[in-house]
Amino acid sequence: MAEPRPVPEVDRAAAARKAVERRRARASLKRDLTTRVVTPQSVLERATADPDSVEGSMRITDFLLALPAIGAGKRDRILADLHISPVKRLGGLGVRQRVALSQWLDSRFPLLQPRGERSRLLVLAGPTAVGKGTVAAHIRENNPEIHLSVSATTRAPRPGEIDGVHYYFVDDAEFDRLIAEDELLEYAVVHNRSRYGTPRAPIDAALAAGKTVLLEIDLQGARQVRKAEPAATLIFLLPPTWDELVQRLVGRGTEGAEERARRLRTAKVELAAQNEFDHLIVNEDVAAAAAEVVELSSSSAR
Ligand code: 5GP
């Protein structure tokens, strides 16, 4: 029998580097699943399409544990029910196992269903620091055919902000009046600080003139719009990955550990709201994300 050939040193180093990279990619995928940046269904799809991918090489046990609200006990019961061995990897499931897992995922994590025809009232929301303001500003500059709602706020203007363009800067008494006279479609206290609200009249006028209207507001506001106008088109802006959002939230590192932890907790809660939305758009690139919003505006007919 021939002697096994020694593995050259360079190959071994490259293989070790590759293994570290894959471990990192798997850890990042787990975080994205836990924080719902990606859907479990899309991970299973990619694993099936390419068993050698990061998704394909993920253990079924790790996959299930990464899903929201699944602990070790539940995981083992699910595996038994679906007749899947715990040593399996996602890319190595048999056809019947894959179908069973996919059906279970759909029942447990229903995908957003198209809700029929939606109105030309578009709401852009998302977690803090995902960049919805930047996407909205891009649309304001490049798509004058879309009416971007100007909110009223009690916060002070920042340098460069123009009253009537970026916000209507009002005092508390005026904000109280807007509420009392039912002039706001929605309003909320944002970041425990100032009040923000959407004036109703300009929106009604723009919609009546056949225009598309875009609101860039926080999650509380988006929920109020859903209640007031059930046919509104709700768009949730997502970060490309959880790590990217963390970078944007705490990247500058100017906050203390407590503030950092608080922001990350808030981001997780905010990300979980995506299931309430009609469309998810990933903000990988501002111009591309803005183009997707504009595209949705032309496809919502009413
Ligand atoms: P900023 O003060 O940085 O301009 O905005 C802070 C937050 O307020 C952003 O998340 C923005 O989406 C939200 N916001 C701006 N206008 C409104 C509004 O009219 N209603 C609600 N609910 N949130 C708003």
Can you tell me the distance from the alpha carbon of 2 to that of 137, in angstroms, rounded to the nearest whole number?
68
Q: Is 187 helix (H, G, I), strand (E, B) or coil?
A: strand
pTM over 0.75, yes/no: no
Q: What is the dihedral of CA 288, 234, 298, 37, to 10 degrees?
A: 30
Give the type of residue at 18.
K
Q: Is 87 helix (H, G, I), strand (E, B) or coil?
A: coil
pLDDT of residue 115: 45
Nearest C-alpha to atom 17 of ligand 1 is from which residue? 217
Can you tell me the distance from the alpha carbon of 64 to that of 74, in angstroms, rounded to the nearest whole number?
9
Report how far ligand 1's centroid is from the alpha carbon of 161 (Å).
14
Output b/e per residue, 71-107; b: 16+ Cβ within 10 A: eeeebeebbeebebeeebbbbbbeeebbebbbeebee
Residues shown for the chain: 302
User: Ligand 1: which of 190, 195, 213, 234 to mutate, judged by most atoms within 8 Å of the beta carbon?
Assistant: 190
pLDDT of residue 275: 86
In the chain, the percentage of residues whose pLDDT exceeds 90 is 64
Longest dimension (CA), the chain: 92
CB 45 within 8 A of CB 93: no
DSSP per position, 229-252: -TT-EEEEEE-SSHHHHHHHHHTT
- Residue 147 pairs with which residues in a beta bridge? 213
**Tens of pLDDT, residues 190-240:** 988 899 999 999 999 998 888 999 999 999 999 999 999 888 999 999 999
* 163: DSSP letter: B
Residue 127: is its pLDDT beyond 90? yes
Residue 125: is its pLDDT beyond 60? yes
Residue 300: is its pLDDT beyond 60? no
CB 152 within 8 A of CB 196: yes
Mean pLDDT across the stretch 69-98? 96
Report how far ligand 1's centroid is from the alpha carbon of 93 (Å).
46
**Tens of pLDDT, residues 244-293:** 998 888 876 777 888 888 888 989 999 999 989 989 999 999 999 999 99
CB 126 within 8 A of CB 236: yes
* Residue 197 alpha carbon, nearest atom of ligand 1: 19
pLDDT of residue 124: 98
Report how far ligand 1's centroid is from the alpha carbon of 78 (Å).
42
Quickly state the pLDDT bin for 114 (edges 50, 70, 90).
very low
